[in-house]
Amino acid sequence: MTSNSLLSLSTEQLERVQQARQCPARKRYLWFVYVVRNEARLLVQNILHHLALGVDHFLVYDNESSDNLEESLEPFRKAGLVSLYKISGQGVQLRAYDNALSKAKDANVSWLGAIDADEFLVSTRAVCIPALLEQVYSQYNTSIAALGVNWRFPGRYTLMMNATSFPAENVAFAVGQPNKHIKSIVHVPRTKNFVFPHNAVYDECCAARSVSGRLPAGSFLEPTDAQDTALIHLYSKGATDWIQKRIRGRADISWAFMETQPHIFFNDDIISIYMEWLAQRKAAPYSAHPLQTALRNHTLALKHALWSR
């Protein structure tokens, strides 16, 4: 166990994770890319989660971390599952995404998911993410350039950051309200470049689609399409974590710009946390959501794979 990572992993454990949900990796089929700063423990959880769902490689761009990120990712790197790159400066997210897209094109990768360490994909449509992509692609194969997935914010997660827990382990965890923002898993051959952290520029023939075939408007899809497939966005684990996020800054926008527009990036967050707190008081006890059940079942399978003998 290290100070910030989830746990000390072995190659054997990682192999068991890959088999935990019967989602065998398909080489150069699906990669994920992240830009992180001091998020080692959450990133380990995230990689384990998506590794079990069929992602075969992860590109991690380290934006000047001072935690034990390299140490935490070393088992994944030894197993050939993670490539770690250094990237310096502010507002580097799009630069990292475009670099990852270039690497994916060079390697003939089919799909590239651009998400954050605090975003966990869950679906009741298919156990494996590649199977989900194939479902959508088979319906819209001549016109699809990306799968756009809406966010859902958890209702509460008091034990979420416990060093030995996974995101769905806490019985109090509940899938909350959907959000109009999307994140994209882009079809690499039809993608030109990223214009926002949420979406990209695609070939003229094609566009992003949701799981139901709807067309997002840039970074947004409203009404949302998040009933059976969503990115569970663990945006803030409480006031302390929110403050740490503000200190760390945003990966897509420089501090110089944020200082000129504080009402955009600070007041909205405060309002969101306050409204979430009000919702928690009114919503208890929580009603189960199918995605909540899917996430919890996946968590249990993942933990069993890690610690089974």
Instruction: Enumerate residues 6+ apart whose C-beta is below 8 A from 91.
Output: 250, 251, 252, 253, 254, 257
**Average pLDDT over the chain, rounded to an integer:** 81
pLDDT band at 250 (very low <50, low <70, confident <90, very high): low
Round to whole Å and give the CA distance between 44 and 10.
13
Mean pLDDT of 84-108: 96
pLDDT band at 167 (very low <50, low <70, confident <90, very high): low
Examine the pLDDT at 280 and tell me if it is beyond 80: no
Whole-prediction pTM value? 0.83
Examine the pLDDT at 2 and tell me if it is beyond 50: no
pLDDT band at 299 (very low <50, low <70, confident <90, very high): confident
pLDDT band at 281 (very low <50, low <70, confident <90, very high): low
Buried b (16+ CB within 10 A) or exposed e, 45-54: bbbbbbbbbb
**Nearest alpha carbon to residue 193 among 93, 98, 111:** 98
Instruction: Enumerate residues 6+ apart whose C-beta is below 8 A from 233.
Output: 118, 119, 151, 152, 153, 154, 179
- Indicate the domain borders of the chain: 11-307
Residue 90: the pLDDT is 86
Instruction: Enumerate residues 6+ apart whose C-beta is below 8 A from 78.
Output: 11
Name which residue leads in pLDDT, 205 or 257.
205
Q: What is the pLDDT of residues 108-158, one digit of tens each?
A: 999 999 999 989 999 999 989 999 999 999 999 999 999 999 998 876 544
Residue 276: the pLDDT is 54
Percent of the chain topping pLDDT 90: 52
Q: Please, are residues 272 and 148 in contact by the beta-carbon 8 Å criterion?
A: no
Q: What is the pLDDT of residues 212-234, one digit of tens each?
A: 999 999 999 999 999 999 998 87
Residue 3: the pLDDT is 40
Round to whole Å and give the CA distance between 35 and 44.
13
Residue 70: the pLDDT is 94
Residue 26 CA from chain centroid, whole number: 19
Examine the pLDDT at 238 and tell me if it is beyond 60: no
Q: What is the pLDDT of residues 5-35, one digit of tens each?
A: 456 788 888 888 888 888 887 899 999 999 9
Examine the pLDDT at 199 and tell me if it is beyond 60: yes
Residue 300: the pLDDT is 82
Mean pLDDT of 248-260: 53
Considering only the C-alpha atoms of the chain, give the largest distance between any 2 of them, rounded to a whole number of Å.
Answer: 55
